[in-house]
């Protein structure tokens, strides 16, 4: 693919058709592998395949590790792309016992204007609603009486309802080790280790904590990941330039 580079997220190709059984996500205790399968003209499969190391569109914390192009009858081809999770920390001595996994949900307040119900409201409608809500008696802006959604939004603002609540998953992992484990990767997109985030794969995760503690000759490592519907790969991805 002419514009491919290891820093560009590979999102597939409009010239290729993804299999109805793709992607296949395999989870083990230490790794998550994503396999995507496409079909199309053989030469297109060759030119459109991603480069090694390109972030995976399904989960930017994973990177392309292998591509296979198979020739099929009639000039057709099959492209298989295998991605796996990028390591977010350094060496980690083998755990002494089964890891402890905790899952919780944290409350997050967002501006009411970002609620999906009001996603069709333009900047002008939102500005009018805010101006009216601040002082309905002195409002002299354009009328929006015939716009039910703007009217509803303005009435909620006027009564003080300017935010709404969403909940994000938090995954915590505690492991015990004979030696001091390396830590790191905080502030970057990362899939929770040891399969701790299973059943939450629809979320993107940012690693938000990684600490160690020594007691009686043993080390414990406490890692934490916070999930979101989407996380900016340019800012938090593997090629963001963050240390």
Q: Is the distance from CB of 206 to CB of 189 less than 8 angstroms? A: yes
Give pLDDT, residue 238.
Answer: 73
Task: Kindly state the greatest CA–CA separation across the chain.
Answer: 74
Give pLDDT, residue 95.
Answer: 61
| Burial class of residue 120, CB neighbours in 10 A (0-12, 13-18, 19+) | exposed
User: SS3 of 113, please?
Assistant: helix
User: SS3 of 123, please?
Assistant: helix
Q: Is the distance from CB of 40 to CB of 76 less than 8 angstroms? A: yes
Dihedral pair phi/psi, residue 95, rounded to 5°? -60, 150
Q: What is the residue-level pLDDT of the chain in tens, covering all 243 positions?
A: 333 333 344 455 567 888 888 888 887 656 678 899 999 999 988 888 888 777 776 776 677 888 999 999 988 999 999 988 644 444 455 566 678 899 999 999 999 999 999 999 999 999 999 999 999 999 999 999 999 999 999 999 999 999 999 999 999 999 888 788 889 889 998 888 767 777 787 888 999 999 999 887 788 999 999 999 888 888 888 777 777
Give pLDDT, residue 88.
Answer: 43
Give pLDDT, residue 1.
Answer: 39
User: Taking each helix axis from N to C terminus, what angle separates 123-134 and 148-158, rounded to the nearest 10 degrees?
Assistant: 40
Question: How much is the CA Rg of the chain, to the nearest whole Å?
Answer: 24
Dihedral pair phi/psi, residue 131, rounded to 5°? -65, -45
Q: Is the distance from CB of 41 to CB of 76 less than 8 angstroms? A: yes
Pairwise CA distance, residues 147 & 128, whole Å: 11
- What tokens appear for 193 in the block? 């280790």
Q: Is the distance from CB of 151 to CB of 142 less than 8 angstroms? A: no
Question: The pTM is what?
Answer: 0.60
């Amino acid at each position: 693919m002419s514009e491919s580079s290891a820093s560009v997220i590979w999102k597939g190709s409009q010239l290729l058709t993804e299999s109805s059984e793709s992607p296949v996500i395999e989870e083990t205790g230490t790794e998550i592998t994503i396999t995507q399968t496409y079909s199309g003209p053989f030469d297109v499969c060759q030119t459109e395949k991603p480069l090694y190391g390109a972030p995976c569109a399904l989960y930017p914390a994973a990177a392309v590790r292998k591509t296979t192009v198979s020739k099929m009858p009639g000039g057709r081809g099959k492209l298989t792309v295998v991605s796996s999770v990028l390591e977010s920390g350094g060496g980690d001595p083998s755990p002494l016992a089964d890891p402890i996994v905790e899952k919780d949900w944290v409350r997050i307040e967002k501006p009411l204007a970002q609620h999906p119900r009001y996603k069709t409201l333009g900047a002008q409608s939102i500005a009018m609603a805010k101006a009216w809500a601040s002082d309905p008696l002195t409002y002299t802006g354009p009328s929006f009486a015939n716009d039910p959604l703007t009217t509803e939004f303005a009435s909620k603002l006027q009564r003080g309802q300017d935010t709404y609540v969403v909940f994000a998953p938090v995954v915590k992992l505690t492991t015990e080790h004979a030696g001091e484990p390396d830590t790191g990767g905080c502030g970057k997109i990362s899939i929770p280790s040891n399969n701790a985030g299973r059943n939450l794969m629809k979320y993107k995760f940012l690693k938000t904590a990684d600490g160690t503690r020594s007691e009686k000759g043993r080390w414990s490592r406490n890692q934490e990941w916070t999930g979101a519907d989407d996380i900016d790969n340019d800012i938090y991805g593997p090629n963001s330039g963050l240390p």
